[in-house]
Amino acid sequence: MSNERRASRVSSLIKREVSQLLISGIKDDRVGGGMVSVTDVEVAGDLQHVKIFVSVYGDDEARGEAMEGLKSATGYVRREIGKRVRLRRTPTVLFVEDKGIERGSGVLSLINQLAIDREKKGGDALLNANPLGEVDPEKDELPNAEG
């Protein structure tokens, strides 16, 4: 259990440090500009490997360029992690694009589109059917409870 806690603690430290590097440390124009953010960090149980999940804002071309920039900065990021986080061995670093936010955004837009379609087709009539027997605001009286 303590090994899991240590991996979790190291994960949060690495996430903080890499986030700082993205803001002020990496000089590559493909990565800078606040377009890349760290969403998660997975550290192997033996602390030898780190997967850094990043979210990249922009179109497919911008995301591809940012991932290439991160790939080329991997050595620098690993070296900085070694300086900033005290570990016996500096773990190998792998950047992975996190598309979860993009998928979530797509799901939200689908839900919004369904709501718009429902309103256009009068689907809100189901909502006004009063299935629970609440007070009808137009009549301002309680429904007949005897059936």
Q: What is the pLDDT of residues 10-56, one digit of tens each?
A: 889 999 998 888 888 888 777 765 578 888 999 988 888 999 998 88
Q: Name the strands in the sheet holding 49-56, side by side, starting at the edge strand that comes first in the sequence.
A: 36-43, 49-56, 92-97
Enumerate the β-bridge partners of residue 38: 54
Both tokens of residue 130?
Answer: 């009063």
Q: What's this model's pTM, rounded to 2 decimal places?
A: 0.66
Residue 52 confidence (pLDDT): 92
Question: pLDDT (tens digit, 9 = 90+) per residue, 126-138?
Answer: 555 555 555 555 5
Question: pLDDT (tens digit, 9 = 90+) per residue, 61-97?
Answer: 888 888 898 898 899 989 989 888 888 888 999 999 8
Enumerate the β-bridge partners of residue 129: none
| Mean pLDDT on 54-60 | 83
Both tokens of residue 90?
Answer: 């500096």
Question: Which pLDDT band, with edges at 50, 70 and 90, does 147 fall under?
Answer: very low
* CB neighbour list of residue 10: distance below 8 Å, 6 or more residues apart: 43, 47, 85, 87
Pairing of strands 36-43, 92-97: unpaired
| 114, pLDDT greater than 60 | yes
Per-residue DSSP letter, 144:
P
Domains and CATH numbers, the chain: 2-98 (3.30.300.20)
Residue 136 confidence (pLDDT): 54
Q: What is the DSSP string of 72-135?
A: HTHHHHHHHHHHHS--SSPPEEEEEE--HHHHHHHHHHHHHHHHHHHHHTTGGGTGGG-TT-PP
